[in-house]
Amino acid sequence: MGNASSMLTQYDIEEVQQHCNHAFSQQEIVSLYERFCQLDRNNGGFISAEEFLSVPEFARLLRMVDGLNFKEFVAFLSAFSPHATLHQKIEFIFKVYDSDGNGKVTFTDMLDVLRDLTGTFISEKQREHSADLE
């Protein structure tokens, strides 16, 4: 699995399945590997932040990671699998909103999310008012 141009072995597939708690079927892992190889433009077996950002939907999620190998890539995506438990999905969503990684979703974290969602369409003051839960 080190070289992105190499083929996955049955052992690799089973190892990845175990790593992500069997959230994906073997065929889904093969498909994910093909997508991983497309993103790994320099064929180094590792997706850089720049390569990961080439998928616009992952821009917000990138804050949670600093580069991924294939097993980490699949584990990261496992929260999106229909086989993932509700707890796994909730834990993942929490991590998305906990932008500073302190184990809490704070007012500042919510402002970060609102900045990402609204861009320049609303002012900082409007964002602060929207995030204020009192």
| 10 shares a domain with 58 | yes
Give me the pLDDT at residue 6, please. Answer: 60
Cα radius of gyration (the chain): 17
DSSP for 50-69 reads HHHHTSGGGTTGGGG-S-EE
Domain that residue 113 falls in = 98-134
Asked if 83 contacts 24 with a C-beta cutoff of 8 angstroms, the reply is yes
Arithmetic mean of pLDDT, 70-99: 86
Arithmetic mean of pLDDT, 42-50: 85
Arithmetic mean of pLDDT, 13-17: 93
| 126 shares a domain with 63 | no
Tell me the C-alpha distance between 37 and 1, whole Å: 11
Domain count, the chain: 2
| 10 shares a domain with 71 | yes
| 64 shares a domain with 38 | yes
| 55 shares a domain with 21 | yes
